[in-house]
Amino acid sequence: MSETTLPQTEVSVRPQGNRLRRFVQRYGWSYLFIAPSMLMFFLFIVIPALSSLVISFQEVRLRGESTWVGFDNFREAFTTQSGVFVRAIGNTLYYTAITVTANVFIALIISALIQPLGRRTQTFFRAAYYLPAVTSAVIIAVVWRWIFNAQWGLFNFLLGLVGLAGVGWLSDPDVVLNSVTFSTVLTVPATGIVLFNAAMSGIPRDYYEAAELDGATPIRRWWSITLPLIRPVVLYVVVLYTIASFEVFDKVVVMVPTGVANSTETIVTQIYRTGFEQFRYGPAAAQAFVLFLMIAAVALIQFRFLSSDIEY
């Protein structure tokens, strides 16, 4: 019996070894090339993220040993500090809902307008619209702070020309969050324009010609052909802008450094103040983990309603 089982074992093992050897020979160099990037990813992304998750369940002391407190940091984030973190969540959701919707809509409209133009003209407009993306966000925020200045800002100057009183754009608690949101809406959504225009350029012209022969109007062709076929790109842009809006920080800190009675407090600014001004690292890590869960939940919802398999 042993003599009959040994050959069967060798026959079953050798193909697996051969497959592994062929796999290494064929793809080994590929994994070797991406190894440095993967190492950096684990060192500077995965390990710090896991460490932050551990810290969120601890009371961290700069001097002395940290103690395990369980979910106390999460409860503290939602129940103490006069509800500042809860208000920061509301402000972030408000800012995200308006800016993402407006930026995606504006990017779609501008991309559709420059799509019928020649290739060189499209290239010019792509470069022109992409300039804000290569400009420092801090510089853009400083410019908007000058525009919203209550004494000599551009907006109050224009209001004075028509006989209207000036507005405390960055000092009135009822207006300041809308001012920050409005500045983001008026900033050209460069990434969305470039991606949407590239996606529209890849749609076969046969579809539009057939629809035109059937009497479809330009708006109808855009709604029935362009939007469905660029849906994967729309999903990508929506998720990209959502993550960026949830993580808004620099614009708020530069435009409204005082916070104006927490009117512009967002999740990331609250994490910064808790961790680097109050040195309460446990609650700050808990707030960061709440932000991660919120982004993940919103992204899953967006994938659920916008994902599709498009082939053309």
Domain membership of residue 62 (yes or no) is no
pLDDT computed for residue 304 by the predictor: 83
Domain membership of residue 292 (yes or no) is yes
What is the phi/psi pair of residue 62, to 5°?
-65, -35
Tell me, yes or no, whether 247 and 141 share the same domain: yes
pLDDT computed for residue 1 by the predictor: 45
pLDDT computed for residue 17 by the predictor: 64
For the full predicted model, state whether its pTM sits above 0.85. Answer: no
Domain membership of residue 189 (yes or no) is yes
Helix (H) / strand (E) containing 173: none
Domain membership of residue 239 (yes or no) is yes
Tell me, yes or no, whether 43 and 80 share the same domain: no
Tell me, yes or no, whether 222 and 257 share the same domain: yes
Tell me, yes or no, whether 92 and 43 share the same domain: no
CB proximity list for 243: less than 8 A, separation 6 or greater: 295, 299
CATH of the domain at 123: 1.10.3720.10
Tell me, yes or no, whether 161 and 46 share the same domain: no
Tell me, yes or no, whether 139 and 233 share the same domain: yes
pLDDT computed for residue 310 by the predictor: 59
Give residue 262's region: left, alpha or beta (phi > 0; psi -120 to 50). Answer: left
Tell me, yes or no, whether 193 and 277 share the same domain: yes
The residue among 286, 281, 308, 294 whose CA lies nearest residue 53 is 286
Three-state SS for 205? helix
Tell me, yes or no, whether 34 and 96 share the same domain: no
The domain tally of the chain equals 2
pLDDT computed for residue 14 by the predictor: 56
Domain membership of residue 60 (yes or no) is no
Q: Which residue blocks in the chain are alpha helix, DSSP H?
A: 2-41, 47-55, 72-79, 84-114, 119-134, 137-147, 154-161, 176-186, 190-201, 205-213, 218-221, 227-229, 231-246, 250-255, 267-272, 281-306
pLDDT computed for residue 16 by the predictor: 61
Three-state SS for 59? strand
Tell me, yes or no, whether 138 and 194 share the same domain: yes
Q: How many residues does the chain have?
A: 312
Domain boundaries, position 100: 75-306
pLDDT computed for residue 15 by the predictor: 59
The whole-angstrom separation of Cα 179 and Cα 256 is: 10
Domain membership of residue 210 (yes or no) is yes
The residue among 116, 101, 37, 51 whose CA lies nearest residue 238 is 101
The whole-angstrom separation of Cα 186 and Cα 18 is: 60
Tell me, yes or no, whether 48 and 82 share the same domain: no
pLDDT computed for residue 311 by the predictor: 56
Tell me, yes or no, whether 47 and 83 share the same domain: no
Tell me, yes or no, whether 81 and 126 share the same domain: yes
Three-state SS for 170? coil
The whole-angstrom separation of Cα 243 and Cα 271 is: 16
- Cα-based distances in Å from 249 to 64, 77, 190, 283: 32, 19, 19, 18
pLDDT computed for residue 10 by the predictor: 47
Three-state SS for 132? helix
pLDDT in tens, the chain (312 residues): 444 444 444 444 455 668 878 887 888 788 888 889 999 999 999 999 999 899 989 888 777 677 888 888 888 888 765 678 889 999 999 999 999 999 999 999 999 888 888 888 888 888 888 887 888 888 989 999 999 988 888 999 999 888 888 888 998 888 999 999 999 998 888 889 989 988 988 888 888 888 888 888 888 888 888 888 888 899 999 999 999 999 999 899 999 988 788 889 999 999 998 888 888 888 899 999 999 999 999 988 888 877 766 555
